[in-house]
Amino acid sequence: MEITLSELAKLIGGEVSGDPSVVITGVAGIREARPGDVTFLADPRYSRFLETTKASAVIAPPNAGRSKKPLIICENPYLSFVKAVEYFFPNRDSYPRTIHPSAVIASSANIGKNVAIGACAVIEEHVKIGDNTVVLAGTYIGKRTTVGSDCLIYPNVTIREEIKIGDRVIIHSGAVIGSDGFGFVKDGEVYRKIPQVGNVVVEDDVEIGANVTIDRATTGTTLVGRGTKIDNLVQIGHNVVIRENCIIVAQVGIGGSTEVGSGATIAGQAGIVGHVKIGEGAIVAAQAGVVGDVTPGGMVSGYPARDHKQAKKIYASLQKLPDLLKRVADLAERVAKLEKGQKV
């Protein structure tokens, strides 16, 4: 595939600065790019690579400054780069819309038009799958679960019974949706299982990473809101409610019945206890241990998680702690001496 820089600029919505006739044949990150590639500059930390990249052209923001490299100047270089990637990989997720003969599909299942079902996939009784959805090999969908239209379910996913998946949802391999919530009640010495009779609702445009686990509610619903993106190996407990357009990074754990407001970001390996509320647009830093509510728009970090500005001060102060101990010991001696002197 080939396109001139000027044509590409039109396609992705930018202005060429430099030779518009340069021929572009691929896309790549700024460090890995080779001649023929277009790359992009979004993160100022990478601007030092602008002159050394082997790319033939760079998609850059208006404030990128001058460069010997041909540029496409865009308001949102990252977004424009995505459009370039989509141009060069137009059929990335196209799967033949066939039902593999080895798939096991219950006679009561309701399969939409133009659906693909992979080899050894298992679709149980009364499942409903919307139009254009792709279910790949080895995936299991339990009875009475509904999956919307235009979804992409990768191989070896498990979606248990009575789950609701919206439209345009992407679920990566190994994810488990609707496993039992972790609920037990002590009955003398032993733990007795609390039946987990609720469900999981995954709204439209959600993406769920590989080997993620989302537990069904004890009663009621565990909810993943529209447009929320969940990275790999995340654990979402029973009755958790995650609102729209949240970002949940890899290996995060969210305890039962906690609510995450819309637009919140939970960074990698953070843990949130059950029964708290993360406000709209809040940010929980990586590895934070959240034990209480977080205010809307707030940012917390550390263990136990505190307001990020305060936490940063604390963690910076920590470096001085060993020295502080010595200084206080020294002061104590000098004060004792002064006290002696005064008495004398």
* Interacting residues with a copy of itself between 241 and 300 (CB under 8 A): 245, 247, 249-251, 253, 255, 257, 263, 268-269, 271, 273, 275, 286-287, 289
Residues 202-221 that bind a copy of itself (CB under 8 A): 205, 207, 209-211, 213, 215, 218-221
Residues 298-337 that bind a copy of itself (CB under 8 A): 302-304, 306, 310, 313-322, 324-325, 327-328, 331-332, 334-335
Residues 109-138 that bind a copy of itself (CB under 8 A): 118-120, 122, 136-138
Please identify which residue in 10, 54, 97, 100 interacts with a copy of itself, judged by CB under 8 A. 100
Among 159, 157, 156, 168, which Cα is nearest to 109's? 159
Query: Where does residue 138 fall: left (phi above 0), alpha (psi -120 to 50 degrees), or beta otherwise?
Result: left
Q: Note if the bond before 155 is cis, omega within 30 degrees.
A: no
Residues 46-75 that bind a copy of itself (CB under 8 A): none
Q: Taking CB under 8 A as the rule, does residue 1 contact a copy of itself?
A: no
- Residue 285's Cα: distance from chain center in Å? 14
Q: 66 vs 107, which CB is nearer to a copy of itself?
A: 107
- Could you tell me if 179 and 216 are in contact, meaning their C-beta atoms sit under 8 angstroms apart? yes
3-state class (DSSP) for residue 224: strand
Q: Note if 100 is an active site residue.
A: no
Q: Which stretch binds a copy of itself (CB under 8 A): 1-9, 10-18, 59-67, 170-178?
A: 170-178
Minimum CB separation of residue 142 from a copy of itself in Å reads 8
Minimum CB separation of residue 296 from a copy of itself in Å reads 16
SS3 percent helix, strand, coil of the chain, rounded to 5, is 20, 30, 55
Minimum CB separation of residue 150 from a copy of itself in Å reads 13
CB atoms within 10 A of CB 172: 20
Active-site choice (100, 238, 275, 308): 238
Among 206, 192, 90, 114, which Cα is nearest to 159's? 206
Minimum CB separation of residue 144 from a copy of itself in Å reads 13
C-alpha–C-alpha distance, residues 217 and 219, integer Å: 5
Please identify which residue in 14, 61, 130, 142 interacts with a copy of itself, judged by CB under 8 A. 142
Q: Taking CB under 8 A as the rule, does residue 146 contact a copy of itself?
A: no
Q: How many amino acids of this chain bind a copy of itself (CB under 8 A)?
A: 114
Using CA of residue 276, residue 279, residue 240, residue 250, what is the dihedral sign?
negative
C-alpha–C-alpha distance, residues 217 and 203, integer Å: 16
Q: What is the set of active-site residues?
A: 238
